[in-house]
Structure formats: C-alpha cells, structure tokens
Amino acid sequence: MTTKTLVLAAAAAAVAAVVAGCATYTPPTQEETMAVIKASFKDRGIAKVDRLNQTELQRICSETHNNPPKDVRQRLEKQALAAVKFPTDGKWLGDYKKGERIAQTGVGLQWSDKPDTPAGGNCYACHQLSKAEISFGNIGPSLYNYGKLRGYSEDIKRYTWAKIWNTHAYNACSSMPRFGEAGILTEEQIRDVMALLLDPESPVNK
C-alpha cells in the first residue's frame, strides 16, 4: 500500500469518526445552556446576575429566533401596550435640550456606576437625530425630522411615548431598550426625550 493510499485511508477513517460522533451528539437543553451562561457571570457593583433572567417575551423571541408565530407576536405586543404607563398629568413634553443630553450619553446601569447615577438613553448609538451630529449608528431608523414628518398630534405623542416606554408594544422582538418598563429612564427623562423628538423647536425638527 502506498503512502498516498495510507493517508487517504486515515482521512476517511477520521471523517467516519466525526460523522459517527455527530450522529450521537445531543444538544444541551435551554436550562443547561442558561446554567453555563450564568456560571460565567457574577454580581459586580449594581450589575447583578439576575439581569440574565428573561421575561416570557424575551424567552419566546430567543426560542423562535425573533420570529414567533403571528398570533403569539400579537398577544405579546398587546400585553406590552396594555402595561405602558402614560404620564398621569397628561404632560407629554419636557425640555428638548435635556433630551439631547440624554440621547448623547450612555452612562448609567453599568457595574462601575453608582446606584444614583442618572442613566442616559445612548440614542445616537442606533439612530440619527440631529443634523449637526455626524457620529451616529444605523441599527435603528433615522429619527431626523421625526415630528416634522409625522406631525405633532396627540396620537403621535401617545405612540411615541409607548414606543420609548416599551418598544415591544409595537415590535415584540425589537432590540431597542425598554426605557420606561425596565426602569432605565425616569418619567421626566422620557418627557425630555419626547421633546427632543416632538418639539418643533428641537434641532431634530429643523
């Protein structure tokens, strides 16, 4: 038997061994996977391991690769919308200048932050807002001229508030943070971000 024949025979045997191994492979369960993930993290500062715990919605989106059946998606969105806390005093807009600062900063809720550190929205990481800002992400749609294009009606304000409070109300498996529902931004901060988007004098609408 030649050297070439021996090499080919060895390679064939190796492939057969791999195929045989794959045939007996059993993927880990969801519980086993989460146990491994959680074992890789530990509480650090204000960042706790319980952040890895998923809501029902998050679990369903993970298990369906962000594509749940239509009826399930509609149920999850309906539940999320019903849980939105709208401003009790009916005041939708705050200070757009403060809203711009919130949009620019990603500080807050990190392990190195103090518990009383006000969180930012870090909106520019995913969206264009002000025409003057040249550094922004494109994971989300451009929000430049948000109010100018959509108008400033009560319906638009209500929709925008709900979208910021819990984006899952309109897109069950959205990757946008749940700023109100998750306690990232306060009600007053959300008013300021609303003003950034919907105040006609905001740079977003110029």
pLDDT tens-digit series, residues 89-123: 999 999 999 999 999 999 988 889 998 889 999 99
- Fold of the domain spanning 41-206: Cytochrome Bc1 Complex; Chain D, domain 2 (1.10.760)
Tokens of 137: 């992400």
18-55 pLDDT, tens digit per residue, is 555 556 778 888 788 878 888 888 999 999 989 888 99
| pTM of the shown model | 0.82
Tokens of 91: 């005041």
**Closest residue by Cα to residue 84 from 192, 184, 164, 11:** 164
Could you count the other beta carbons within 10 Å of the beta carbon of residue 143?
21
Decide: 101 and 206 in contact? Cβ < 8 Å.
no
> What DSSP state is assigned to residue 47?
B
